[in-house]
Amino acid sequence: MSVPPPERKLGLLQATAINMIDMVGIGSFITMPMVIGLMNGPYFLYAWVAGALLSFIDAMVWSELGAAFPLAGGSYNFLKETYAKTGAGKLMSFLFVWQTMIQAPLVIASAAIGFAAYFSYLVPVTVWQLKIISGGVVVLIIVLLFRKIEAIGKISVVLWVIVIGTIVWIIGGGLVNGNFLQPIAEINENLTFNYAFIAAIGYASVKTVYSYLGYYNVCHLGGEIINPSRNIPRSMFLSIFGISALYLLMNVSVVSVIPWNYAKDSEFLVSLFMQELAGPVAATVATVLILIVAFASVFSATLGYSRIPYAAAADGSFFKVFARLHPTGNFPYVSLLVLGGIAFVFSLLFRLSEVISAILAMRILIQFIGQAIGLLILRQSKSKEFPYKMPLYPWPVIIAIAMWAFILFSTGLKMVAGGVCVIALGIAAFVIKSYTEKRKSSS
């Protein structure tokens, strides 16, 4: 019996809101001092510009593929279709789902761990209490997502308003009370363009790119987007333009009040910023809003990732149990529960510093570089019409591949080796799965 597809009930506003709340999680607040410390100078803003540039260029790849294949699962479908002519479509799509079962819970857990860490500004907590908080966040998210997609769309818009309002408040604080233009005027102070600067940009961009991730979340929900050929590309570019502007302005606002050489050592930088401006009550309010932003990010990420194993299972390429839809809510509840369960375990086991680089290293080869090369292959075959076509093709694709390779190298050899090991294990699992299915069909 065929599995009924989800309904298309998310418009441009909801799609953009889902992208933006995924992008602006706790990451942007946690990584601000990390980026400043890695760059060790007022030119740290260049790392945020580099992250925005990569996101914008890579979004062109996602837009072509998302508009052409508007189905649940995003990259699963992209890899399957773009490599179909080479005979590697099943392998590449399987590898993506394989890594998603690990990296998606890592992404969800990282936001929950960041939530718990920032919560400790309000109330001193022990290590075990931090783990209870992060695990509780994951459980609450699963409960909220256990409902129909149109209700989730409404929740997403409310969370989006809170996200944007929080960042605008932070920016406004710097505008009114700080020397807002000083960080921009000093951006090139003591800057020397050499190998050390390029290496620092690479290391810092690992953190900023992590903070931008999520601009493509709408592609994972492609089967639930109204008029996907228009709304998928538009929602991504709107998200990137909006969030990159807000990130840059927020960084300028904060260091206009707290000099960069002090900001780089602050664990709760935005809370300290608000305390300097308006006292402890304002700092507490800001921290609560940041926690809501972090919660919203976990909400959006979990929503998008839950559609990937479902799409693969509905297509017959993954375990059949993941293709089950809720009998009344019509959402992939098995996929949601399994990913949420793994994320819950990860949230108890790891620290935030351990997962940021691991997330990127695991994803870059198969998902980002893999589907960019796949787009080149599909475009060359001329076997598919693309509702959206990027300008200056193929240069954006080539530049995206080069930039992702640079980011991968910057995660460190240990993380790269870990990502390669996950791929190797995935290939072994695919071979075993294919052999088992072949024996069953021949018997």
pLDDT digits (tens, 9 = 90+) for 206-229: 999 989 988 998 998 888 899 999
Structure tokens at 58: 């890579």
Q: Give the residue from 232, 261, 198 showing the smallest Cα distance to 37.
A: 261
pLDDT at residue 298, rounded to an integer: 78
Greatest C-alpha distance within the chain:
76
Q: Which residues have CB under 8 Å from 86's CB, separation 6+?
A: 377
pLDDT at residue 1, rounded to an integer: 43
405 phi, psi to nearest 5 deg: -65, -40
% pLDDT > 90, the chain: 39
Q: What is the mean pLDDT of the segment spanning 31-45?
A: 92
Instruction: Check pLDDT > 70 for residue 151.
Output: no
Q: How confident is the model at residue 59 (pLDDT cuts 50, 70, 90)?
A: very high
Cα 52–chain centre separation: 13
pLDDT digits (tens, 9 = 90+) for 112-122: 888 888 898 99
Buried b (16+ CB within 10 A) or exposed e, 375-401: bbebbeeeeeebebebeeeeebbebbb
Whole-angstrom distance, CA of residue 168 vs CA of residue 171: 5
Q: How confident is the model at residue 290 (pLDDT cuts 50, 70, 90)?
A: confident
* Better-predicted residue by pLDDT, 177 or 123: 123
Q: Count CA atoms within 13 Å of residue 322 on its CB side.
A: 23
pLDDT at residue 4, rounded to an integer: 58
CA quadruple 362, 18, 148, 224: dihedral sign: negative
pLDDT at residue 87, rounded to an integer: 80
Mean pLDDT, the chain, whole residue set: 87
pLDDT digits (tens, 9 = 90+) for 252-263: 999 999 999 999
Q: How confident is the model at residue 28 (pLDDT cuts 50, 70, 90)?
A: confident
Where are the domains positioned within the chain? Answer: 12-434
Full-model pTM: 0.85
Q: What is the mean pLDDT of the segment spanning 198-204?
A: 93
Instruction: Check pLDDT > 80 for residue 3.
Output: no
Q: What is the mean pLDDT of the segment spanning 396-419?
A: 93
- Helix H, strand E, coil C: the string for the chain is CCCCCCCCCECHHHHHHHHHHHHCCCHHHHHHHHHHHHHCCHHHHHHHHHHHHHHHHHHHHHHHHHHHCCCECCHHHHHHHHCHHHCCHHHHHHHHHHHHHHHHHHHHHHHHHHHHHHHCCCCCCCHHHHHHHHHHHHHHHHHHHCCCHHHHHHHHHHHHHHHHHHHHHHHHHHHHHCCCCHHHHCCCCCCCCCHHHHHHHHHHHHHHHHHHCCCCHHHHEHHHECCHHHHHHHHHHHHHHHHHHHHHHHHHHHHCCCCHHHHCCCCCHHHHHHHHHHCHHHHHHHHHHHHHHHHHHHHHHHHHHCHHHHHHHHCCCCCHHHHCCCCCCCCCHHHHHHHHHHHHHHHHHCCHHHHHHHHHHHHHHHHHHHHHHHHHHHHHHCCCCCCCCCCCCCHHHHHHHHHHHHHHHHCCHHHHHHHHHHHHHHHHHHHHHHHHHHHHHHC
pLDDT at residue 353, rounded to an integer: 65
Q: Give the residue from 266, 285, 263 showing the smallest Cα distance to 274.
A: 285
Q: At what angle do helices 75-82 and 307-314 cross, to 10 degrees?
A: 40
% pLDDT > 70, the chain: 96
Instruction: Check pLDDT > 70 for residue 162.
Output: yes
Structure tokens at 163: 């996200």
Q: Give the residue from 401, 394, 396 showing the smallest Cα distance to 370.
A: 401
Domain 12-434 has CATH 1.20.1740.10: yes
Instruction: Check pLDDT > 90 for residue 309.
Output: no
Contact 14, 225 (CB under 8 A): no
pLDDT at residue 223, rounded to an integer: 85
Give the CA dihedral 48, 156, 228, 396, nearest 10 degrees: 10
Instruction: Check pLDDT > 60 for residue 175.
Output: yes
72 phi, psi to nearest 5 deg: -60, 140
* Better-predicted residue by pLDDT, 330 or 344: 344
